[in-house]
Amino acid sequence: MKVLVTGFDPFGGEKVNPAFEAVKRLEDKIAGAQVIKVEIPTVFRKSIEILDKKIEEEKPDVVICVGQAGGRFDMTVERVAINISDASIEDNEGNKPIDETIFEDGENAYFSSLPIKSIVSNIRNEKIPASVSNTAGTYVCNHIMYGLLYLIDKKYKNIRGGFIHVPYLPEQVVDKRSTPSMNINDIVTALTVAIKTTVETQNDIKISDGKTH
Ligand code: PCA
């Protein structure tokens, strides 16, 4: 089995992105699966084009995209991506789409095809905080998750894919009061668990991890 894992480059004035910092530290083999790691620019459209090329080239069985969610305290496994971009800041090439449809011929939303509940449960078993998130936002992370699931729906039917957001690293919050962070080793462990769980789980477990708001 082959797993393609992507991590975004730094954006929004940060010097690092914990997503690619963690992705590049992953083992090359996890649960018997080959792990391919790739850095993706935080740029609307281009990020999806690069992902598409990489999928074409590598023909993975699983694709997991990873991004930074500054301000969140835990690992958040995204449930859904929506067909809209509404940027609050420019991307790394100066794009700032407002209420823009990602793919005209796509569904309004796509659900992750990763075993999200099993992933959350197994990360928590490692004593690392994790939860299911019901919004990946409307910036480049939602964009690439939507693009990935659109591509899977349109041309890579047998691939399972989804998205995981990770908190800031401690070094990023030195000058941000009361902002949560997670150390790199825990993020790497949590992503490793997510990959292992996806490789080993076909049917997700049914446990509640919903929210009232
Ligand atoms: N996080 C941003 C885009 C790139 C990243 O790592 C987001 O959550 O949209």
Q: Is 141 a catalytic residue?
A: yes
d(CA 155, CA 76): 27
Distance 197 CA to ligand 1 centre (A): 23
φ, ψ (nearest 5 deg) of residue 164? -130, 130
Residue 211 belongs to a domain: no
Q: What's the pLDDT at 60?
A: 98
Q: Which of 9, 11, 45 to mutate to test the pocket of ligand 1 (most atoms within 8 A of CB)?
A: 11
Residue 12 Cα to ligand 1 middle (Å): 9
210 belongs to a structural domain = no
* Structure-derived torsion over alpha carbons of residues 71, 72, 74, 78, reported in degrees to the nearest 10: -140
In a domain, 213, yes or no: no
Under DSSP, the state recorded for 85 is B
pTM for the whole structure: 0.98
Report pLDDT for 16: 98
- 206 located within any domain: no
**CATH number of the domain residue 107 falls in:** 3.40.630.20
Q: Is residue 76 part of a domain?
A: yes
Ligand 1 centroid from CA 156, angstroms: 24
> Is residue 207 in a domain?
no
Residue 18 φ/ψ, nearest 5 degrees: -60, -25
* Catalytic residue flag (residue 143): no
- Give the number of domains in the chain: 1
How many CA atoms, within 13 angstroms, populate the side-chain half-sphere of residue 5? 30
Which residue range(s) make up the domain with 40? 2-200
Q: Cβ(145) to ligand 1 under 6 A? A: no
pLDDT, mean of each 10-residue run, the chain (213 residues): 98 98 98 98 98 98 98 98 98 98 98 98 98 98 98 98 98 97 98 98 94 90
- What confidence score (pLDDT) does residue 107 get? 98
Q: How far, in Å, are 14, 46, 47, 167 from residue 96 at the CA level?
A: 18, 13, 14, 23
β 2-8/62-68 pair status: parallel
Which residue's C-alpha comes closest to atom 7 of ligand 1?
141
